[in-house]
């Protein structure tokens, strides 16, 4: 019994510590007319508004959509809260939340017998959430503390798709990006061909085919701008766990500059 109580207390302490960590991401909102984009923002431990800092945008997957301004921290937030990151890198990190009725990317999705099929659009108008994200990006880049030469974006699944989308809509804004188990219409790749990019996918992904990531990699390579490309042969859709464990991911990202 004592052992069970000790284990329960330990688990409770972990949950409380995690909640406390996430509270370091401050809750903010962007209001544009009748539309609202909720987001969380993490400042460096010794933030000085007179200094210049890199800014990292992280785009969550479909399962974290909503309006609670919390779920978007489910995957990836802990990576930026790690002591190694906080001590080694001073950066502003932003986790926006896509609305439930919207989507980061301009993609057509059809479900057949629980299987989803994606058709990525070439061009087209941005979704409501992407439009708000673009406005948030422009707003943050204009902040006095923003290092305009070190603006980054990354995401997973729907957020990986959104990463490609925001890159093609603001290619001159970003110094580098990473996309995990995402996808795009290969015809859009030429718009962000000059942005350093690291693409990840699970070889067994049965939700978003790895062919989508490979298509972008192949197209960029044809254009003469070969991105970093990592396939986890035994990983399914949650290849983000493996990507987050890459020791060089954040150092590589933050070493890039315009």
Spatial CB neighbours of 195, under 8 Å, sequence gap ≥ 6: 167, 171, 174, 175, 176, 177
Helix (H, G, I), strand (E, B) or coil at 184: coil
- Cβ atoms 181, 213 nearer than 8 A: yes
* CA nearest neighbour of 175 among 91, 76, 72: 91
The pLDDT assigned to 56 comes to 98
The pLDDT assigned to 249 comes to 98
Q: What is the pLDDT of residues 58-117, one digit of tens each?
A: 999 999 999 999 999 999 999 999 999 999 999 999 999 999 999 999 999 998 988 899
Helix (H) or strand (E) holding 155: strand 146-156
Label residue 3 by pLDDT band (50, 70, 90): very low
Lowest pLDDT segment from 4-8, 131-135, 235-239:
4-8
Report whether pLDDT(18) > 70: no
Q: How many angstroms separate the Cα of 202 from the Cα of each of 71, 93, 109, 234?
A: 23, 25, 20, 7
- Which residue is listed with tokens 């001073």? 90
- Which residue is listed with tokens 């990202």? 253
The pLDDT assigned to 99 comes to 97
- Cβ atoms 156, 240 nearer than 8 A: yes
Q: What is the pLDDT of residues 26-54, one digit of tens each?
A: 999 999 999 999 999 999 999 999 999 99
Q: What is the pLDDT of residues 138-197, one digit of tens each?
A: 999 999 999 999 999 999 999 999 999 999 999 999 999 999 999 999 999 999 999 999
């Amino acid at each position: 019994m004592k052992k069970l109580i000790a284990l329960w207390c330990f688990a409770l302490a972990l949950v409380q510590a995690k909640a406390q960590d996430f509270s370091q991401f401050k809750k903010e909102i962007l209001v544009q007319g009748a539309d609202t984009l909720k987001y969380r923002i993490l400042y460096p431990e010794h933030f000085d508004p007179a200094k210049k800092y890199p800014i990292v945008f992280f785009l969550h997957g479909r399962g974290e959509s909503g309006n609670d301004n919390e779920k978007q921290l489910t995957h990836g937030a802990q990576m930026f809260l790690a002591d190694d990151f906080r001590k080694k890198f001073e950066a502003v990190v932003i986790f926006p939340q896509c609305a439930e009725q919207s989507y980061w990317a301009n993609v057509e999705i059809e479900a057949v017998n629980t299987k989803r099929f994606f058709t990525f659009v070439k061009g087209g108008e941005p979704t409501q959430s992407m439009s708000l994200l673009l406005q948030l990006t422009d707003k943050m880049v204009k902040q006095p503390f923003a290092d305009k030469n070190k603006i980054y974006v990354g995401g997973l699944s729907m957020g990986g798709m959104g990463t490609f989308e925001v890159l093609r809509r603001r290619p001159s804004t970003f110094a580098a990006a990473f996309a995990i188990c995402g996808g795009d219409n290969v015809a859009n790749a030429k718009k962000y061909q000059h942005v350093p990019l690291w693409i990840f996918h699970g070889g067994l992904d049965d939700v978003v085919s790895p062919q989508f990531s490979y298509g972008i990699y192949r197209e960029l390579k044809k254009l003469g701008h070969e991105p970093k490309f990592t396939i986890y042969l035994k990983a399914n859709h949650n290849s983000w766990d493996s990507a987050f464990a890459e020791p060089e991911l954040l150092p590589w990202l933050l070493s890039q500059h315009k």
